[in-house]
Amino acid sequence: MTKSQAASIDQNAPGLRIGLFGGTFDPPHVGHLVTAVNVMHTLNLDQVILMVANVPWQKEGSRTITPVQDRFAMVEAAVASVPGLVAGDTEIRMGGPSYTVDTLRSLRQQIPEYANATFFTIVGDDAAAGVPSWERFQELTELTRLVVVDRPGAQVGLSTEIEWIRVEVPHLDVSSTELRSRFSDGRPLDYLITQPVLGVIRERSLYSSPIGAQA
């Protein structure tokens, strides 16, 4: 548990409502933040953890992934000034491939404040259809409520075997893939990535990008 997590939890509050928003976050962008704060508001959550995947098994081998400590530093910078949002390093500390079911069990077992919490695992509409293929899916549904983020006016069709919670959030057509491309060719990054995240990228020379003019 990071210091920011501990500081943002009411130690005496019963039945915390915790959002778990996992991702590679390579890099984290405004779309991630918009999703997290809107789900937090709609579901009246006490906190949303942006959980950084240690080894994202669904992406491993498909491309070069930025080292996990750099990705975690970017997420910490992204959420530092946003009430209720925290950076999660549980999967980093566990090591190996990142499976949500293991993350949830570890959070409950290792952090007393989360032992009796209700968890809400947040997935985008593009990923939601694949959730039944996740590791130990049936066990996962016993540990968390599943939240799918819908684009305005267009609900994605999903399995009726799952009790989904649907939350509509503003759609921002931005992706980490597109941002990495922008880093490489010098296109503007203004308003797509927050200044604190850009600061981490610049300080650590990530993405080999000409971002000096993007301050």
Q: Mind listing the pLDDT tens digit of every residue in the chain (215 residues)?
A: 443 444 444 444 468 999 999 999 999 999 999 999 999 999 999 999 999 999 875 555 556 789 999 999 999 999 999 999 999 999 999 998 888 999 999 999 999 999 999 999 999 888 888 888 887 888 999 999 999 998 877 677 777 778 899 999 988 888 888 898 888 888 888 889 999 999 999 999 998 744 433 32
Confidence at residue 214, expressed as pLDDT on a 0 to 100 scale: 33
Residue 209 inside a domain? The answer is: no
Per-residue exposure over 34-67, b if at least 16 CB sit within 10 Å of its own CB, e if not: bbbbbbbeebebbbbbbbbbbbbeeeeeeeebbe
What single DSSP character describes residue 208?
G
Query: In the prediction, which pLDDT does 11 show?
Result: 44
Q: Quick check: 37 and 10 in contact, CB under 8 A?
A: no
pLDDT at 157: 75
Give residue 4's pLDDT. 45
| Buried/exposed code over 188-215 (b: 16+ C-beta within 10 A; e: otherwise) | ebeebbbeebbebbeeeebbebebeebe
Task: Give the dihedral of Cα atoms 165, 11, 5, 108; nearest 10 deg.
Answer: -60
Q: pTM score, two decimals?
A: 0.86
In a domain, 28, yes or no: yes
In a domain, 42, yes or no: yes
In a domain, 146, yes or no: yes
| Residue 130 domain-assigned (yes or no) | yes
Rounded CA-CA distance 100/21 in Å is 10
Q: Is residue 12 part of a domain?
A: no
The reply to whether 46 falls in a domain is yes
> Percent of the chain scored above 70 by pLDDT?
87
**pLDDT tens by residue, 117-176:** 999 999 988 888 888 888 788 899 999 999 999 887 767 777 777 889 999 998 888 888
Residue 194 domain boundaries: 3-7+21-204
Flag whether 173 is in a domain. yes
Signed CA dihedral, 5, 10, 14, 18: sign only: negative
Domain total in the chain: 1
Contacts of 183 (CB under 8 A, 6+ apart): 189, 201, 207, 208, 209, 211
CATH number (domain holding residue 88): 3.40.50.620
